[in-house]
Each structure stands twice: as C-alpha cells, then as structure tokens.
Chain A
Amino acid sequence: GAVVSQHPSRVICKSGTSVKIECRSLDFQATTMFWYRQFPKKSLMLMATSNEGSKATYEQGVEKDKFLINHASLTLSTLTVTSAHPEDSSFYICSARVRDVEAFFGQGTRLTVV
C-alpha cells in the first residue's frame, strides 16, 4: 500500500528558530497533500492544502508567513514553522490523497518549542 513518510517524528527547538518538517510519498505521486495540526485530546485541524507546483491553500486563521508550505515535487511537501514560539508546540501531521481517498497519513511530528 501507499506509504507516507514524515520526518522528524520529534523535534525540540528554541523559541525564535525555524523548524522544517518533511512529508514524502514513498511509492506513489501525491499531487495533493494536507497539513494538519492536532492539540492534545482534540481532533485534527486542517492548516493547509499543498498542491504540487503551486501555492498552498491555507485555512482561515492560519498564518501563511508563519507556516510556510512548499510542494516542489510530486513526492515531497514541506512545512516550515518560522520564528517558532511555545504556542506553536503541537502535533503536526501530513496526509496524501490517493485515488480520491484520504487514506495515508505520515507518522506525525511532535514539535516542542522551549
């Protein structure tokens, strides 16, 4: 089956620094990937839809300049959290749509900003 690999699984960074999270489709081409954020004991919150070769579509309330998304190839989308602050600490998850089904999620990245 299709596999989505997300890296890193955990990262701790200092306040004010930037962190890049990668999401790769390993055995298929993902023209569309999704980035989610999840708070403890809460459901997933869609942050943005990443389309290969074009600008990402951000959800209302998500800061484009803070959460930079790049989808430069059919197998890689990246999320960069810029100038991170403690309130950005969260669980970030990517997913890919394959044949009309949102079936494949990355492993998730636990970001802690200290």
Chain B
Amino acid sequence: GQNIDQPTEMTATEGAIVQINCTYQTSGFNGLFWYQQHAGEAPTFLSYNVLDGLEEKGRFSSFLSRSKGYSYLLLKELQMKDSASYLCAVRDSNYQLIWGAGTKLIIKP
C-alpha cells in the first residue's frame, strides 16, 4: 500500500530552527509537496521537490532523497505565526497526490 509518515506533533521555540521529516512509500514518484495549513483554513503551497537535494525559499527549505523515500521541511527563525499543521504529499505514478496526516507545529515564546 501507499504510505506517508510524518510526526503527529512537534514543539519548538520562537527564533529557533525546526525540521519536520516525511518518509514515503508510494507506487511511483512524480514529486513531493509541502503545504502549510492553519486551523480552519485551506492548505497553502510551500514547496515542490522532484529532484534530490535542497530547495531554499526564504526561511523555509525542503530536502528530498528519492533513494531513501525521505524529505524534510526546515523552518528557520521561527515566528509565532508559523504555528500550523504542515502536510507532506507525494504524487504517485498515476499523478495522484497521496497525503500525509500532517504535523502540528506548536511554537512557544
């Protein structure tokens, strides 16, 4: 079966750095996505990785290793507004998104 694993919840301190991991087992691979979702709102696109390596976009970076079925989202200089759920999703061989359950990130002052 297809599976996306990410931690249920993480806690970090304002100003610090946090890494949210995502491992996947899917039928084929056509890209990995990270989304941010605040409570009661729709997801917001953060990043897209299709090749191995690190993609940096401001305070957020996303890493992919296809051979290991692994990705992480790195958030630097954490701000209180970064408190949200972070969803990892993989597009499989049928071009369908397989969603992780999301990681709830709690930022403490």
Q: Contact residues of A with B, CB < 8 Å? A: 6, 34, 42-46, 49, 91, 93, 100-108, 110
Contacts and interface: CB of A to CB of B under 8 A. Distances in A.
Interface string B86-109: 010101000011011110000000
B43 A93 contact: yes
A43 B96 contact: no
Per CB-CB distance, the 8 closest pairs between chain A and chain B, nearest first, are A108-B42, A103-B45, A105-B42, A43-B99, A43-B101, A93-B42, A44-B99, A105-B43
Nearest to B97: A102
Contacts of A6: 42
Given A101-B31, A101-B45, A102-B89, 5 more contacts: A43-B99, A43-B100, A44-B99, A91-B40, A108-B41
A110 B44 CA distance: 17
A43 B87 contact: yes
B8 to A, nearest CB: 10
Contacts of B89: 102
A6 B45 CA distance: 16
B33 interface: yes
B101 A107 contact: no
10 contacts: A42-B101, A43-B100, A43-B102, A46-B99, A93-B42, A101-B31, A101-B48, A102-B45, A102-B89, A105-B44
Nearest to A57: B96
Nearest to B88: A43
Contacts of B87: 43-44
Given A101-B48, A102-B33, A103-B48, A44 B96 contact: no
A105 B31 CA distance: 18
A44 B43 contact: yes
A110 B39 CA distance: 12
A77 B40 CA distance: 22
Contacts of B43: 44, 93, 105
